[in-house]
Structure 1
Amino acid sequence: MSDFLQRFAQAFTTLDKHNLHLLDSLYSQDIAFTDPLHEVHGLPALRGYFAQMYSNINQLRFDFHGFDQVAEGEGYLRWKMSFCHPRLASGKVIRVEGCSHLMWRDKVYRHRDYFDAGALLYEHLPVVGSVVSWLKRRMG
């Protein structure tokens, strides 16, 4: 188990809209951040992305349950994210599992998240959600 990954996850769980300055201690200035919905380059852009994300949700929590270092300065975090958004799922808690691939030197310079974007967003939209559910049933 990687000490770096555990420290990163512990610090990441403390983030909220009031302390986004902590991103500076986790990420390098040239951070490349990617998830299924966004791609962000540079620490200022990442701060903006997180500020927008936290301003649109009522609560957000990450529960980390896997810390796998695969090489020097490279590893994966497995997690479950729980959040509430007033316009999704009638404001009820939504839970999504995913993992993060991190590359670091002293700080993370590459962060890529993998998760089901449908489970995060599309399934909870009024019209689109029913279409996504129907498609999943048909393909399953």
Structure 2
Amino acid sequence: MDVIERFCNIYIDICQISPDDLESIYAKDVVFVDPITTHRGIDAVKHYFSNLLTQAESCKFDIADVFHCDGNNTARTQVTHIVNWTMHLTLKGNNKHITLDGTTQLNVVDDRVAYHKDYYDLGEMVYEHVPILGFVIKKIKGKLAS
């Protein structure tokens, strides 16, 4: 099984893994970027996931597409794969369910992910679920859409 298959299997339900399982897909010096922050190195990524696992009741990803990208560039951030997904997140305590579409860019080097960058709407994931602020953001989106 190659790293992309292992990646997809781990992300089916990340609440069913241990942070140590991430070593099977990520390089020791991985750079992991999301709309909130950047994590450098496998230990930082494992810490990030450990924190997520304490807050999530369930976190499943439906992976819709995996595209292989050809290129000559050997830069660390070269994109070798693009993954489109829908995340289904249920937080502990309040049973709040969040569904979010996103895309991940990956750079695979020596059968490990060396670079991982997530793209998603942070407002849809976080801000729209905050009382009052969520109402305001949804109203603004509605005005912009009309």
Question: Which bin holds the TM-score, normalised by the shorter protein?
Answer: 0.7 to 0.9
Q: Work out which of the residue numbers 99, 104, 112 in structure 2 matches 1:107.
A: 112
TM-score, L = length of structure 2: 0.84
Distance 2:41 2:120 in 1: 22
Distance 1:111 1:78, change over 3 A: same
Q: Does 1:45 align with 2:50?
A: no
Q: Whole-Å Cα distance in 2 between the matches of residues 16 and 78 of structure 1?
A: 20
Q: Which runs of 4+ in 1 moved over 6 A?
A: none
AA in 1 matched with 2:68: Q
**Cα drift, residue 127 of structure 1:** 2.1
CA contact (8 A) 2:63 2:83 kept: yes
AA partner of residue 92 (structure 1): K
Partner residue in 2 for 1:35: 34
Distance 2:138 2:120 in 1: 17
Aligned-residue identity in percent: 26
User: Normalising to structure 1: TM-score of the pair?
Assistant: 0.87
1:18, distance to aligned residue in structure 2 (A): 5.0
Q: 1:14 to 1:133 in 2, by over 3 A?
A: closer
- Measure how far apart 1:86 and its partner are: 4.3
Residue in structure 2 matched with residue 94 of structure 1 by the alignment: 98
Q: Which runs of 5+ in 1 are unaligned?
A: none
User: Secondary structure of 1:91's partner?
Assistant: coil
The two structures, once aligned, show a CA RMSD in angstroms of: 1.9
Return the offset for 1:17: 6.2
Provide Cα deviations, 1:49-71, integer angstroms capped at 9, x if missing partner: 01101111111101111010012
Q: Distance in 2 between matches of 1:6 and 1:112?
A: 18
Which runs of no fewer than 5 residues in structure 2 stay unpaired?
72-78
CA separation in 1, counterparts of 2:9 and 2:51? 22
